[in-house]
Amino acid sequence: MESYETRAEHGTWRLVGADATVPLVDGARRRYVNLDFAASTPALEEAARAIEAMLPWYSSVHRGAGLKSRICTAAYEGARSEVHAFFNARADDTVIFTRNTTDAINLLAYALPPETKVVASAVDHHANMLPWRRHRVTYLPVPESPAAHLAALDSALSDVARGDPSLVAVSGASNVTGEIWPLREIVERAHAAGARVLVDAAQLAPHYPIDMQALGVDYLAMSGHKMYAPFGAGALVGRPDWLEEREPFLRGGGAVQFVTLDDVEWKDVPDRQEAGSPNILGAIALGAVCRALGSGGMRAIAREEAELYQYARERLLTIPGLELYTVWGPGHPHVGILTFNLSGYVHSLLAAILSAEYAIGVRHGCFCAHPLLLHLLKVERAEADRIRDDLRSHSHPAIPGAVRISFGLSTTRDDVDQAVAALKEIAAHGPRWRYECDPNNGEFDPVDDGRPWPDLPVHLTREYVRHAGESS
């Protein structure tokens, strides 16, 4: 099997911007080490080439008689078939293009039958937590083991009457700790109770093969920007009936067959749930990535990333004062995500040092998973209530958080080694530069940061970057 390093040399997977160098705060330049793939990925070159090829042919879809429109329509529907094939969806499953995972889950939450009971989890990303609150939702606690989670699920489903609509919403992999959830067992238990299953695959899809037919998954939500197609498209894949029985989530052109002043005849899915002019180029880029990764072998990607995860975990644990967070421990399968804190450093300061002095890009904060972070950091309920109350009174409390490194197709052992060496140096000697904290958001910046930015043909609003902060 080729290693990540070998693949990078031979160009099997090429990511746009993977060879970029960036300035350090001391004036030197260094290759940018991207360890923030879980937040958003660079574009796979196949995605960029697909968009470049389609731009001269860009036109409307579905209703245009011109040749460009017909070609664009064929490419857009071809992308739909690529997404369908990538997840081995059932023949009658629909693929609805959305903006991202959040959009896809909100669409399904809107389309659920009245009185649907939803079972979600305290480990989930907010996108797979907040949309369900319009229904009767039960949140399972952070489990001590997969068996504990399955037992809690059985208990939550025990009072669902046969025939009543119910849905189990589960993350394919944690965006905080990387654990892969036991999807097959969850689906079996849910189906035995008459419930359907939605998988938030935002973190799982780029790293691990997903076979919807083999798993029996009813719905799957995903984001292109997590899967090397960062052009504003995602997808909801799954059974069409609930999506056809409700009026559209968005209402407008493209979703209708006929309209009068007092009535409307809606189209079937997917058109019914894709009102307005779609993100044609984003969908085409997503289709191109699904084709490239599907033909390249997701199983090989998963195996190699599992090896890289173990290597990184072992190396991180050699750093004095570093605490690594996990839900179920190292023996459980993980995608390439590791979250930690370093003694003596606020998470936002540590991330700023890694960027300014070492050209290492990481994520920090609560990763849009506040309940799970509070659990991992052992934040008591009284402290969480105090933070909430302070925010409601418009003060600016320090919000607990952590630092996360995450891997992608271009990540190598050398990237891991650079991060570990930087963290060891910081732990032993501290930062080489001075940093100041913005009291409005808790973010740290280097004092007298003179790093030049690239000359781009777009307007850059630096003040927003400096003061917006990152609370999720």
In whole angstroms, give the CA distance from residue 162 to residue 194.
Answer: 6
Mean pLDDT taken over the chain = 93
Q: How far apart are the C-alpha atoms of 370 and 472, rounded to whole Å?
A: 8
Write the burial class of residue 38 (CB in 10 Å: 0-12 exposed, 13-18 middle, 19+ buried): buried
Indicate if 94 and 220 belong to the same structural domain: yes
Q: Which of 276, 295, 314 is the last residue of a domain?
A: 295
Q: Does residue 231 share a domain with residue 96?
A: yes
pLDDT tens readout for residues 249-306: 999 999 999 999 999 999 999 999 999 999 999 999 999 999 999 966 899 999 999 9
Does 36 map to a domain? yes
Looking at the structure, do residues 59 and 122 belong to the same domain, yes or no? yes
At residue 448, what are phi and psi to the nearest 5 degrees?
Answer: 55, 50
C-alpha span between 371 and 255 (Å, rounded) = 37
Tens of pLDDT, residue by residue over 364-411, are 999 999 999 999 999 999 999 999 999 999 888 889 999 999 999 999
Question: What pLDDT, on the 0 to 100 scale, is given for residue 40?
Answer: 98
pTM of structure: 0.94
Which amino acid belongs to residue 125?
H
The tally of domains found in the chain comes to 2
pLDDT at residue 8 in the model: 38
Q: Which residues are catalytic?
A: 368
CATH number of residue 376's parent domain: 3.90.1150.10
Question: 144 pLDDT exceeds 70?
Answer: yes
472 within domain boundaries: no
Query: Is it the case that residue 28 has pLDDT exceeding 80?
Result: yes
Q: Which domain holds residue 375?
A: 4-42+298-467
